[in-house]
Amino acid sequence: MLHHRACGTLLHPTSLPGPHGSGDLGADAYRFVDWLAAAGQQVWQILPLVETGRGNSPYMSPSAFAGNRLLIDLTDLERQGWLDHADVEAMPGGDARRIDFDATIAFRDDRLARAAARFARVATAAQRDDYAAFCREHVGWLDNYALFAALSQRHPERDWCDWDAPLAASEPSALARATTDLAAEIERVKFAQWIFFRQWQRLRDYANARGIAIFGDAPIFVAYHSADVWARRELFDLEPSGRPRVVAGVPPDYFSASGQLWGNPLYRWEVHRQAGFAWWSERLRRSFELYDVLRLDHFLGFVNYWEVAADAETAIDGRWLPGPGVTLFEQAESALGKLAIVAENLGSVTDEVEILRKRLGFPGMAVLQFAWASDHSNPHLPHNHERDSVVYTGTHDNDTVLGWWAALDAAERRFVRDYLQSDCAEPNWELIRCALASRADTAIVPLQDFLGLGSEHRMNTPGNESDNWRWRFAWSDLPDLLADKIAELCARHRRVAGVAVD
């Protein structure tokens, strides 16, 4: 991925400390970058930076392109003169360890509305020109998304297909009237996107200057209630009414005995193919404007995807159908050049998935928590790791290592101890050292595992739609010498800048 041995930390920016209900792109983000550098880290892995959707999930976004406005640093808006100091005082009743999404969204949207209104009155000519240039550059998705977001605010708790028929059908005259009626709301949405992208670019530049690459994430699917589906319904498998005909998921797996019913609409791959996969190429282009490296979620879906009836209650009764395969990526690389992609090759991986991944030269993934449930042929065991891969102690979908260890049965614990030749008194550090010693080019450790935290600090539990994505840390959680300890381990295992892979 980085062409040398490296170590990185997995932490989504919403999990950073900060006074406004959730982590953001402000001072604490820059402080975290400094901590990563001190800890010898060369990668900051994050979750998708898009707006969140159902269940506050970044994997159910109302847009595959729009940035998450909750990450906007409000203090920067004060520095620009668009908010007063009183506007950026700490959010009343905020929880430093858990995000209250309803309260945080209300607080932040109120401040963004105030800032947009003042910007409209007092912005300099240079600021107006920059904003206009941003809107022109992103017109391919921004206009549709801004109108969609404004309409969604006017129709809360309703999917787009339940809007008035002319709007649901995107009739030009209805869209023109709505654009006029909702002009102020549309401008607020565009303003927030302009601010997000400018703030993120500054933070990314800061990280890159300190030798830290940003490792991003892109879900394969988009949410049904999204500007993408509403504005480009010909690309998705929908009924004539606009509702999904079939939806995405996976069959029974490690996380759920009944499978996972995600509910995303599926693609009409033949339509994408006839268009030269232009929508996908543009999506990847915009992703690489945010990230240095991109994890492509559910990579197996590009080979075979699990189709479930839209009215199904579980994902058990579905069927596998062929995905677009190599053609999508050939078209994208023709337009964009070589793609710095890591393939999330977990789950029901077949030989065909690995053939495609290797043909494209995409690194795969190994997860140490998955390594101990079978025998020594398990691909997640360290001796089976490939050099061109990324090894994790666990991902955002896993429990923390301490939570995982507490739930292991006696046989698996014995396997772990025998394999590592350790009593595993500190299981998180055992798996961290195991990941760092791996042959895999890149090792990624969730911050929760560096901190030795239990299950109550888990980021996401697949199949559970409540209480996910809320975890935050505090600076007091980081022991004074933790960065030094991590940096020393990285150096011991040759995961430092300039050490080429064998």
pLDDT digit string (tens) for 223-261?
A: 999 999 999 999 999 999 999 999 999 888 776 788 889
Of 78, 87, 282, 397, which residue is the catalytic one?
Answer: 397
- Looking at the predicted structure, is the pLDDT value of residue 482 above 60? yes
Closest-CA residue to 467 (of 97, 40, 194, 149): 97
Cβ burial of 27 (10 Å; 0-12, 13-18, 19+) is middle
Closest-CA residue to 473 (of 489, 459, 461): 459
Q: Give me the pLDDT at residue 179, please.
A: 97
Q: Give me the pLDDT at residue 128, please.
A: 98
Phi-psi region at 441: left, alpha or beta (left = phi > 0; alpha = psi -120 to 50):
alpha
Q: Give me the pLDDT at residue 1, please.
A: 55
> Structure tokens of 144?
């549709």
pLDDT digit string (tens) for 376-386?
A: 999 999 999 99
Q: What is the 3-state secondary structure (H, E, C) of 87-151?
A: HHCCCCCCCCCECCHHHHHHHHHHHHHHHHHHHHHHCCHHHHHHHHHHHHHCHHHHHHHHHHHHH
- Looking at the predicted structure, is the pLDDT value of residue 439 above 70? yes
Q: Which residue has the tokens 């300190």?
A: 210
Helix axis angle, 101-122 relative to 183-209, nearest 10°?
Answer: 100
Q: What is the mean pLDDT of residues 399-422?
A: 96
Share of the chain above pLDDT 90, in %: 91
Q: Give me the pLDDT at residue 502, please.
A: 52
Q: What is the mean pLDDT of residues 154-162?
A: 93
Has 397 been annotated as catalytic?
yes
pLDDT digit string (tens) for 62-88?
A: 999 999 999 999 999 999 999 999 999
pLDDT category, 374, cuts 50, 70, 90? confident
94 or 178: which leads in pLDDT: 178
Cβ–Cβ < 8 Å for 20, 9: no
pLDDT digit string (tens) for 26-63?
A: 999 999 999 999 999 999 999 999 999 989 999 999 99
Share of the chain above pLDDT 70, in %: 98
C-alpha–C-alpha distance, residues 174 and 164, integer Å: 9
- Looking at the predicted structure, is the pLDDT value of residue 500 above 70? no
Q: Give me the pLDDT at residue 94, please.
A: 79
pLDDT digit string (tens) for 166-204?
A: 999 999 999 999 999 999 999 999 999 999 999 999 999
Q: What is the mean pLDDT of residues 209-223?
A: 97
418 or 157: which leads in pLDDT: 418
Of 28, 76, 237, 344, which residue is the catalytic one?
Answer: 344
The SS3 call for residue 226 is: coil
- Looking at the predicted structure, is the pLDDT value of residue 498 above 60? no
Q: What is the mean pLDDT of residues 290-298?
A: 97
pLDDT digit string (tens) for 14-26?
A: 999 999 999 999 9
C-alpha–C-alpha distance, residues 82 and 359, integer Å: 51
Q: Which domains does the chain have, with CATH numbers?
A: 14-48+55-212 (3.20.20.80)
Closest-CA residue to 308 (of 272, 260, 347): 260
Q: Give me the pLDDT at residue 152, please.
A: 96
C-alpha–C-alpha distance, residues 487 and 482, integer Å: 9
Helix axis angle, 482-492 relative to 27-38, nearest 10°?
Answer: 40
Q: Give me the pLDDT at residue 323, please.
A: 97
Q: Give me the pLDDT at residue 375, please.
A: 86
**Taking the model in full, what pTM does it have?**
0.96
Tell me the HSE value of 78 on the side-chain side, using a 13 A CA sphere. Answer: 10
DSSP string, 322-388: E--THHHHHHHHHHH-S--EEE---SS--HHHHHHHHHHT--EEEEGGGSSSS-TT-TTSGGG--SS
C-alpha–C-alpha distance, residues 319 and 309, integer Å: 10
Has 317 been annotated as catalytic?
no
Tell me the HSE value of 406 on the side-chain side, using a 13 A CA sphere. Answer: 10
C-alpha–C-alpha distance, residues 53 and 101, integer Å: 11
What is the overall mean pLDDT for the chain?
95
Helix (H) or strand (E) holding 209: helix 183-209
pLDDT category, 373, cuts 50, 70, 90? confident
Cβ–Cβ < 8 Å for 400, 458: yes
pLDDT digit string (tens) for 261-276?
A: 999 999 999 999 999 9
Provide CB contacts within 8 A for 488, sequence distance 6+: 40
Helix axis angle, 125-137 relative to 139-154, nearest 10°?
Answer: 100
- Looking at the predicted structure, is the pLDDT value of residue 4 above 80? yes
Q: Give me the pLDDT at residue 499, please.
A: 53
Of 297, 352, 386, 477, which residue is the catalytic one?
Answer: 297
Has 423 been annotated as catalytic?
no
pLDDT category, 349, cuts 50, 70, 90? confident
pLDDT category, 2, cuts 50, 70, 90? low
The SS3 call for residue 173 is: helix
